[in-house]
Structure formats: C-alpha cells, structure tokens
Structure 1
Amino acid sequence: MEPNMIGAYGPWASSIVGDGPARLSFRKPEFADVEAWRTVARQRVRDCLLAPESGGVPKATLQHQFEYDGLHIEHLHWQLPYGPPTEALFLKPKGVTERLPAVLALHDHGGNKSFGTRKIAQISDNLHPVMKKHRDYYGGLSWANELAKRGYAVLVHDAFAFASRRIRVGDLPRVVRRDLKEENPESEQEIEAYNKFAGEHESLMAKSLFCAGTTWPGVFLSEDQRALDYLCSRDDVDAKRVGCGGLSGGGLRTVYLAGMDDRIACACCVGMMTTWRDYLLHKAHTHTWMIYIPGLPLDLDYCEILGLRAPRPTLVLNDLEDDLFTLPEMKRADQMLSAVFTKANAADRYRCSFYPGPHKFDKPMQDEAFAWYDRWLKS
C-alpha cells in the first residue's frame, strides 16, 4: 500500500468513490441527452450544496470613481442579508460607452484572507508590500487590469471570509481569538498574524456552516451569483457575453459558478483541477475546507462539476509542478472533461493546457486565457 492521507483506510475509502464514472456522470451510457442530464445532475449538486439565501440583485453603492492606467475604475460596495458589506472594483477602458463583454474575475485564496480584490486588481502605483509579493503568482501583473485593457468590463469582489468580508477579531470570544488584536489591519505583522489565525479558523467556520445547514462552496456560489447578478444588470455590460475565471481559490469558485450558472458564456479555471480521489488520498492536506460537498462524490467527480456547463466554452490551465495536486490525477481530470465535452458534441469548446513550473497564473497563461475570452466573448 502506498502512503496516503488516511493510512490503512485509504484503499477502502478510495474504493467507495471507485474508478469508474460516478452515478450521475455524463460519461455513463444511460445519459444521452446533455440537457436532460444537466437538469438532473445540477439538481443533485444544489441539494448537496445547500446554498443559503443571499438576496436578489445587490444594490451597489458607488464609493468613488477615478481613472488609472488607462482604465475607468469604480470602487463599490453592497450589503447582502448577512455579514459586513462586500467591497468590489469595476474596471473598463476609459472613455468607452458601449456595452462591453464582461468577466467576473475571482480572486484566489493564497493563505491570505486579509486581502481579496487587491490580489488581482490594482488602483494605484502604491501596492501594499504583501501584495507585491503576492503578484509572484501572476508574473508581477494585476490580471484584472490587464484584461480590462483588452476591452472588457471586469468586476472583482471580496469573497466570503476575505478582506471586507473577513471575520473580525472583535466579534469573536477570547477562547477563539486568543491574544490576536486588530489595531492596524494594514500592518505586515498584523496581516501575518491574522492570516495564521484565519487558516486555523477555517475548520471552525466549516463546522459552523454545517451546523447551520449549509456548506462553504454553497456560500461561495450564492455570493458569486449575486456579484454576477450585479455585473449583468449594468447598462455598460452585454449580459449575453459574460465570462468568469480565476486561479486556485478563484479556480475553485469558477468550477462551481461556471458549472451551475448558464449566464457564464465562457470560463477559465486555473490551477484548481483534479479529482476527488486526488484530494482523498494525496492532497487534502494542501487544501482548505472551501472545496468539499458531503455526498456529492458518489454522483459526480470534482472535475465533472465544471463539466455541467458543456457544451459552453471551457478552458482549464494547469501547472506541471503544482504541489497542490498530483500530475496523474490532473491528467485524469482532463480525460474526464474531454470525454464529457466530446459526448456533448462540443470537443472544440473544451481545452486543457499544461505549463511548466509551480502553482501560478503568469503572463503566458494569461495570454492563453485572454485569447480564449476573445474567441468566445468578442466574436
């Protein structure tokens, strides 16, 4: 037996998931009509996600607007039925008035809950030192800005438990917060301490969400759909030409949002594609509680959640030396998705590329992603 996350129980647990197609996999011979299959499979995902009610189209308040680096930028916030207000940035080329194709840009996890939108969007030359280092994942670029410069409207919002939506230390009992203080949230020392606390707090958050009758992916999906509602409601956005994408935690959110919402006309998942078996046996220790949906693996593999969007255009970008996954399972996920899109008569609308190097979304990968958006959202 090879070493695995749960030792002697690994082969048994892996056998529950099995090697063949799960019960609701489109690869099974009994599913022939992609629309009929999607209706059944998506309902099962909804049942497992237990997504909370998060209101209707958010009423966004404009904090301020300005121009930077050739872009018109709006700093927004909106209030969901629970938690602190969500801060967001809307970017588009300055001086443009016609309806534009749009992308909901989903920020990553990165072990850094102190930041959200600022991980991938930039509004001045004055970058926080922590964000300068974080840009290493992106080849030193703010990819939301780079995409907006190509003629897109781009919306970036803080995800649940990140940045403006983070857990405030003062709202916690001492037994949880211990000696942690939040006096200067921009201090590098406090950011480091908060991120360490937030990583440990994830298990408490996940348990509490289960007790509330929901799941972390369910909350993500619900809140990301509210951001999508807002983006599609804007007069300067062509709601029929909207995509989404992101790296790592943003790739995870892409899997659920693009897999479950037909308004996403084009999707790009970066550095977040594998199988349940990979998590179970090898890589659960490198990932957060934000991924898992109890009960779903018997019906759909992780990669097949994204496959629920077939035949809509879908791009997956992987890194060959990504420590978050094993290469054989990344390739196995690619084979599954390829089979799903081929069976849906949409082989040309699915692409998976592997790049040398570790976990990242650098300029060559961004170039491929942006060209994919151009192909499907601009034509």
Structure 2
Amino acid sequence: MTSGNPWDNGRRDFFKTSFAAAIPFLMNEDLMPDIISSEPTFSSDGSMAAQKSIIGGYGAWAASLLKPVPSLSYRNPKWKDIKGWHNEALAKAKELIASPERGGLPQVNLEKKYIYDGLEIEELWWQLPYGRATRAVLLKPQGATKPLPAILALHDHGGKKYFGYRKIVKTSDEQHPLLKDHQATDYGGKAWANEVAKRGYAVLVHDTFTFGSRRVYYEDVHGLDWGELNVTNKTDENPEDSEHVEIYNRWSGAHEHVMSKSLFCAGTTWPGVFLSEDQTALDILASRKDIDPERIGCGGLSGGGLRTVYLGGLDPRIKCAVCVGFMTTWADLILTKSFTHTWMTYTPLLPQYLDFPEILGLRVPLPTLVQNNNQDELYTLSEMKRADVVLGEVYKKAGASDKYLAKFYDGEHKFDTQMQADAFNWFDKWLK
C-alpha cells in the first residue's frame, strides 16, 4: 500500500478507472475503505455465507444458488470417465460462452521487421470480419533457425484500454511514459514478452477486442454524452498525449457496461469475443513455419490471466498455461469482489455448471500454473486458496497432480520479476 486511501494505489487502476467512472457511489471515498476492507463470514463447511455483502442482505441467498459441486464439475462423483465428462462440459461451456464465428485464417501483413534488444521483431496486422485492423508483434531470438516453442502472450486490462500489446513489450528505447510507469508498477520494470522471448521462444502479442488498435474510437460512436471528451480531445493532433490517453481510459471504463449489454443482446459474451480473437491469434501463431505447433503456451496478468482461463481452458492447442492474478471462485465475486472486476469476466449461467477455476480446469491434464498475490485487492485470499483446492482436486482425480501448481506471493496485484522467473521456468519444463 502506498496510501491510506486504497484508491490512491496505482495498481488499483484496473478497477479505479474501469468501474468507478461507471458507478458514482464507489467514488465516495468515505465509503470505499469500508467496502474494500470488509471481510466475509463463513458457514460451518467453510463456504462464504456473508450476511452483509456488496449486494446487501441478498448475498447469502445469491451464494446459496451455487451448488458446492456443480453438475459439470469433474469433482462431481457421477463423472467416472474423463473423456465423457470433458466432451459434455466443454460443449456446455462453448454453448454459454457463445463465441462469434472466427471465419478463416486472415491474411497476415508484415509492416516492419527489425532487431532490438537481441530479438527479431516483426510488426504485424490482420483484419477480422469486424472492427479495425488488429495490430501485433512477433518476437524471437536473433538468429534462430530451427522451429521454436511459442508463447501467446496476453496483455492485461489495467484500466488502460488505449493501449494493448504495447503494455507488455518494448520495441525501442523510446517508450510512452504511461507504459513505462505501468511496467514499473505491474511488471517489475520489465517487458515480460521480451524477457520470455530471450529464453528461446517465439512470442506473439496482439491487441484484443476494445484495446489498442481494437479500441472503440470516438468517431465511430453515436448517441452517448461524451462528458469531458470535448471536441478538442476528439481531434487532438497528438492523440498519445498522456492527458488525452487518460481521458480516453476513463471514458472507456465507463463504456464497458454499454458494450457488455450490447454483446448480450447480440447473443454473445465478452469472454466469447476474447476467446474468438485469441484463437485467431493462436491460428496465426500455429501456422508459422518458424514455430513448433505442438509446443505452444499462453499466459498473462490480470485481464491476460482472465483470457488465459478461457483460452487455456477451451483450446487444447495451448499445451502449457500460466494464469497470473486472475483466480478465485464465483462465490467471491457474488459476495465481495464483483465490483473490482471488468464486465469482461462474466459468462451468464456458466456458474450453474462450473465454478470459476473449473473453466481453466477444462484443460486437465495439460500443464497449468496459477500465480496469486496474497494482498491482491481484486480477490479474497481465502477464495483464491479455495480455487487452488478446486483445481487441485480436478487434477488429482485425473491422475495429473504433477501437471498443476499454484503459487502464492506476498504483495499486491502484479507479475514481478520473481513471478516471471517461476512462470518462465514452468514454460521451460513443459514446452522445452
């Protein structure tokens, strides 16, 4: 903590900018510390059963709607055969996540190629059937000649939707001050995509839906009050001016509920759109001649951890997954922490069938590492540990306990250099 006011900590930007703008009540600083520090109570079986919660007296009732072991949980004793369970659970998860059709492999365009930081870097772009072009970078060790294991590096949310892949890479000595600050607070001052590439991986990092090149542009929106986004801001000759970027980030956070409702009305979900776009990036990565398609992993912090849950859980081409700073239970989100999370988290009705960690557990017995921070303000520690128990039981029942590991670190929401070293070692263990 850097301040007595929990909203002053830069690492809380993930929900400070994304949600406070949309929920004015949460901007009452006299109330926020009580909300954030409130601890749930527990029933005799250890489950969360708060009489007071973020939804008032309805919390215990809402939590009671969850089954301790959902019907499609592999922990459910009715499931004896892992293949039969997996087929049914995966089909239901795909149905509810409702990803839009991806179409075929898009044409990948090379915009620029150069050497930096001991890496060969390709700046790429491709066009999906909707929205503006997706921009990405591919990094690999300079001089590599044989097909490499690969990582699909998934950028975070961080309350910074103006930027996407640039939050976890560095492609020149010149770096936007907001990106430099973000890497300092959340990544130990490192561009982690560069660091893992140096260990012998081809690493693809792309902008995803509503971030960076895929963000919602001012000129494309009609029918909303722009507030502080005045004409000057919309036509700024220097759109990457820090003030301009931060104004955009505040607006885009407040816009999330609009986007989410519109996606629901279209018959899809935000996790479904993420999954579709991340799978297209995976298609592109797997199709390259310079990588080994049987040795592809993925990982990311926060919003990147969320994307790892869905991509790693639903696509078996991900042979090794590292979820950082995004693991808890649905009960935690019902009673304590839903307001700290983006609308991008939720798949309606899925909690009837799987607890949150069991989405990632759909990948069993493929190798999976989950990294948690003990003082992470986005979750309740006891529920992070409960999620570890859930995943541990899934892997144990599958006879694959050696393929699952959860680690807990002191500190707040982050993917620091020690965590990166452990994550990279996990990739090395299973992909090399």
User: Which TM-score tier does this pair reach, normalised by the shorter chain?
Assistant: over 0.9
2:156 to 94, 103, 108: 108
- Give 2:55's aligned amino acid: I
What is the Cα deviation at residue 175 of structure 1? 2.5
What is the Cα deviation at residue 320 of structure 1? 0.3
2:262 to 201, 208, 230: 208
2:136 to 73, 82, 88: 88
Which residue of the partner structure matches residue 26 of structure 1? 74
SS in structure 2 at match of 1:290: helix
Instruction: State whether structure 2 residue 198 is matched by structure 1 residue 132.
Output: no
SS in structure 2 at match of 1:177: coil
What is the Cα deviation at residue 2 of structure 1? 3.9
Which residue of the partner structure matches residue 158 of structure 1? 207
Structure 1 CA distance for aligned equivalents of residues 105 and 54 of structure 2: 42
TM-score by structure 2 length?
0.86
Instruction: State whether structure 2 residue 244 is matched by structure 1 residue 197.
Output: no
What is the Cα deviation at residue 178 of structure 1? 4.1
Which residue of the partner structure matches residue 42 of structure 2? none
8 Å contact from structure 1 (residues 317, 352) kept in 2: yes
Instruction: State whether structure 2 residue 61 is matched by structure 1 residue 12.
Output: yes
Which residue of the partner structure matches residue 281 of structure 2? 227
Structure 1 CA distance for aligned equivalents of residues 393 and 104 of structure 2: 36
Q: What are the equivalent positions in structure 2 for 1:248-287 lying under 5 Å apart?
A: 248-287=302-341
Q: What are the equivalent positions in structure 2 for 1:323-342 lying under 5 Å apart?
A: 323-342=377-396
What is the Cα deviation at residue 176 of structure 1? 3.9
What is the Cα deviation at residue 185 of structure 1? 2.2
Name whichever of 40-49 and 176-185 sits farther off. Answer: 176-185
8 Å contact from structure 1 (residues 256, 306) kept in 2: yes
Structure 2 CA distance for aligned equivalents of residues 162 and 74 of structure 1: 20
1:61 to 109, 123, 128: 109
SS in structure 1 at match of 2:140: strand
Structure 2 CA distance for aligned equivalents of residues 308 and 123 of structure 1: 35
Name whichever of 217-226 and 179-188 sits farther off. Answer: 179-188
8 Å contact from structure 1 (residues 58, 227) kept in 2: no
Structure 1 CA distance for aligned equivalents of residues 105 and 151 of structure 2: 17
Identical-pair percentage = 56
- Give 1:168's aligned amino acid: Y
Which residue of the partner structure matches residue 122 of structure 2? 74
- Give 2:107's aligned amino acid: K
SS in structure 1 at match of 2:359: helix
Which residue of the partner structure matches residue 85 of structure 2? 37
What is the Cα deviation at residue 33 of structure 1? 1.5
- Give 1:15's aligned amino acid: S
8 Å contact from structure 2 (residues 51, 57) kept in 1: no
Structure 1 unaligned spans of 5+:
none
* Residues 26-51 of structure 1: per-residue CA shift (max 9 Å, x gap): 00111122121111001101110111
What is the Cα deviation at residue 57 of structure 1? 1.6
Structure 2 CA distance for aligned equivalents of residues 119 and 179 of structure 1: 25
Structure 2 unaligned spans of 5+:
1-49
- Give 1:162's aligned amino acid: F
Instruction: State whether structure 2 residue 190 is matched by structure 1 residue 145.
Output: no
Structure 2 CA distance for aligned equivalents of residues 376 and 56 of structure 1: 30
Name whichever of 32-41 and 248-257 sits farther off. Answer: 32-41
- Give 1:210's aligned amino acid: F
Q: What are the equivalent positions in structure 2 for 1:280-299 lying under 5 Å apart?
A: 280-299=334-353
8 Å contact from structure 2 (residues 156, 301) kept in 1: yes
Q: In angstroms, what is the RMSD of aligned CA positions?
A: 0.9
- Give 2:138's aligned amino acid: F
Structure 1 CA distance for aligned equivalents of residues 165 and 239 of structure 2: 15
Structure 2 CA distance for aligned equivalents of residues 57 and 134 of structure 1: 33
- Give 1:368's aligned amino acid: D
* Residues 154-180 of structure 1: per-residue CA shift (max 9 Å, x gap): 000001000100000011125343451
- Give 1:39's aligned amino acid: N
8 Å contact from structure 2 (residues 228, 247) kept in 1: no
TM-score by structure 1 length?
0.98
8 Å contact from structure 2 (residues 51, 60) kept in 1: no
Instruction: State whether structure 2 residue 30 is matched by structure 1 residue 3.
Output: no
- Give 1:150's aligned amino acid: R
- Give 2:255's aligned amino acid: H
SS in structure 1 at match of 2:296: strand
Which residue of the partner structure matches residue 315 of structure 1? 369
SS in structure 2 at match of 1:24: coil
8 Å contact from structure 1 (residues 58, 229) kept in 2: no
